[in-house]
Amino acid sequence: TNNQFLSEPDLYLNTLGIPNMHAEVSAAFREAVKCFRYELFTAAVTMLGKASEGAWLELGASLLASVPAGQELKFGKQKAVLEDPMIGTFRKIEAVLAIYDHQDVFRPVALASGIRLQELRSVAVWSDAVRDSRNTIHFGVTAATPNTYEKLAALLIGAVSNVRVLYRLKE
């Protein structure tokens, strides 16, 4: 049934409704839902974190690809952050926000997508909650609130609207 989208990966992806999602992001969402179904909350939030990071990286690459000729140097620092595998998710999200903050360049994108910088910052707040929860995979690290069924359900439900924003902007 349609009301079981948190326990069935295909229904969940259908609920997201993002046809142009990268295969690796889609696979991470699938695995997150499978883990959630079996109450493997740390594994579920880890895969949700991977999906979130992938969506942000896709958006960052898309924004950088749309920078007009002659303005690429303006975004060199952010590009280096996004392409460095040793830099964490938090800094990569900051880099994407810094890129989009240049409304002198991205105003046409903002108008076409209907997404303001403040809305993207709200998605970053959700992503930070996912990242905080995911960080429990590190020894000795605890999340601000325990990774429970209710918390993971809220993060998975929150992913629907938040990831849609990232992909709408990417489009």
Q: Are 132 and 143 in contact (CB under 8 A)?
A: yes
- Report d(CA 136, CA 141) in Å as an integer: 5
Can you give the pTM of this predicted structure?
A: 0.93
36-53 pLDDT per residue, tens: 999 999 999 999 999 999
**CA-wise closest residue to 100 among 128, 126, 131, 74:** 74
In the chain, what's the furthest Cα-to-Cα distance?
Answer: 52
Average of per-residue pLDDT across 21-33: 96
What pLDDT was estimated at residue 5? 76
77-105 pLDDT per residue, tens: 999 999 999 999 999 999 999 999 999 99
Q: Which two tokens stand for residue 38?
A: 């079996």
What pLDDT was estimated at residue 110? 96
Mean pLDDT, rounded, of the chain: 94
Average of per-residue pLDDT across 146-159: 95
**Torsion angle (degrees, nearest 10) of CA 76, 63, 12, 161:** 100
**Quick one: which H or E segment has residue 76?**
helix 76-83
**Torsion angle (degrees, nearest 10) of CA 34, 37, 38, 40:** 70
Q: Are 22 and 54 in contact (CB under 8 A)?
A: yes
The DSSP-derived string for 5-74 is: TTT-HHHHHHHHT-TT--HHHHHHHHHHHHHHHTT-HHHHHHHHHHHHHHHHHHHHHHHHHTSPTT-GGG
Does the pLDDT value for residue 2 go beyond 70? Answer: no
